[in-house]
A and B are shown apart, each in its own frame.
Chain A
């Protein structure tokens, strides 16, 4: 099975962000970057499929400036076979623009399965996978937490609010991956060495003109500092009073 995985480079979220002077970007100084959470699950899912079938190829694709090569190498050190950078000066805020460039790359690539993350952890639209599928004329199943194959048919589970559904779709198809499917493995030392020699192609990204425009970024209002009202079940009446009279939620 020939599998493509689209992966995005994003900052680690475990920090206090600062907004850059432009007002439309985060201040990147001191930030660490890695594969976006759900894209890591997608890489792992692809590797497990290849290992199970003991055949096939896993290609990772990332759109962005040259620093995304680091992200691609990380995926190759986990086990992906080769990589493609779709070179762009910045990563646009518009998922549709990104989808046009990814579709142009994926078109005619002969992929049986194209994996995305359910959403990117920074711009967080959850749109690129389905949009790319539409542009390619392929079926898409979004946000799946389980994936199995029955011949040429993918059998999946999709989480809804308070429910789930079982979904089937024949390949080739696009699938966007939610958590639950597979925890990403850590690259081994051997994997890291091997990744250095794996092929990484660089092509210009054929981006449509972005029409979702980022006007501004702001930090949400700080929560007021936490307050401990007391210890043990003896403070329950006080909590109930506060919920009633102060917070007015009871």
Chain B
């Protein structure tokens, strides 16, 4: 069994995603326990290899670069086939981000290698023989401890759980040819479009400002966006009531059937705190709630609650945050 660990370095639109650095960081921890090396595998259109040094800086001993024009878009079939074939060189584990793209790749590779996958790990320990992960299930209400007894172990790690750590290694670039013809994949991505206006993604942002039906109408989401802008490191989320009404795209929905997030700070604006919404955000470190109804269930889990009209409070809060940021 090899002690080396392969990390899937996710990219989109020619850029490395933060999740790539998290996967490398998580892989590094396992390789260090086992005395092995970390290899990061990076797919993209020609030119993507330019990002290799950042992967090296976060702990990749080598960076395997697979460039092809057909990797300008996600190409899960060709990516999974190439990773699975490359794993044949001998790896003890594959670490992917538990992002939409990573969760699309990990089970494909695992099935090709006839091994299980553990998804969405929030913590991970390894010894020479196996990897054990903590995996939230039951809408975050139960933490499962799971051991992967097969080799290689395939794990996807939840964004935000393994913060990128600088740990400079060689990052020596190795060029690899894709398996088969990526242009001939049966699953074809014809277009990738930006869905929401926020620059930061929900999975990556340390602060999330979320809005619910209490905002009264779609246009009032500008108040939420302005608060997010004041923080500078915030993304905008929403409840299902709001995405159902088309005020926000479905991709912004947080909850049981939406995104699961755990930012440092979650500000719930005009959100009642239905159980299905809490399922997606209850693990946030600090929760603030603004709601005009002091009996709203969101206040049961809010570290800091303000009772009042969100339309009146948001502009005041935005100004105060701007001022706090300006005064350092």
Contact = CB atoms under 8 A, between A and B. Distances in A.
B316 A233 contact: yes
B103 A38 contact: no
Nearest to A139: B186
Interface stretch (B20-28, B38-46, B198-206, B216-224): B198-206
B324 A167 contact: no
Given A26-B142, A95-B117, A14 B186 contact: no
B77 A166 contact: no
A232 B306 CA distance: 7
Interface in B272-310: 275-276, 279, 282-283, 285-289, 294, 298-309
A230 B307 contact: yes
B152 to A, nearest CB: 12
Contact of A214 (B144, B193, B207, B287): B144
B306 A211 contact: no
B115 interface: yes
Nearest to A123: B137
Interface residues of B, number: 103
B106 A127 contact: yes
A210 B148 CA distance: 10
A160 B120 contact: no
Interface stretch (B29-37, B62-70, B165-173, B249-257): B249-257
Given A13-B275, A127-B107, A213-B149, A232 B190 contact: no
Interface of A: 11, 13-14, 16-17, 19, 26, 37-38, 93-97, 99, 119, 121-135, 139-143, 145, 158-170, 173, 178-180, 210-220, 223-233, 235-237, 239-240, 242-244, 247, 249-250
A135 B115 CA distance: 12
Contacts, number: 290
Contact of B143 (A143, A180, A220, A226): A220
A221 B203 CA distance: 22
A227 B188 CA distance: 50
Contacts of A123: 137, 144
A218 B319 CA distance: 42
A143 B107 contact: no
A22 to B, nearest CB: 13
Contacts of B250: 145, 159, 178-180
Contacts of B186: 139, 169-170, 173
Given A163-B195, A170-B186, A212-B118, 20 more contacts: A17-B141, A95-B117, A99-B111, A121-B138, A126-B119, A128-B107, A130-B107, A139-B187, A164-B251, A166-B190, A168-B188, A179-B258, A215-B132, A219-B143, A223-B282, A231-B307, A240-B321, A240-B324, A243-B286, A250-B231
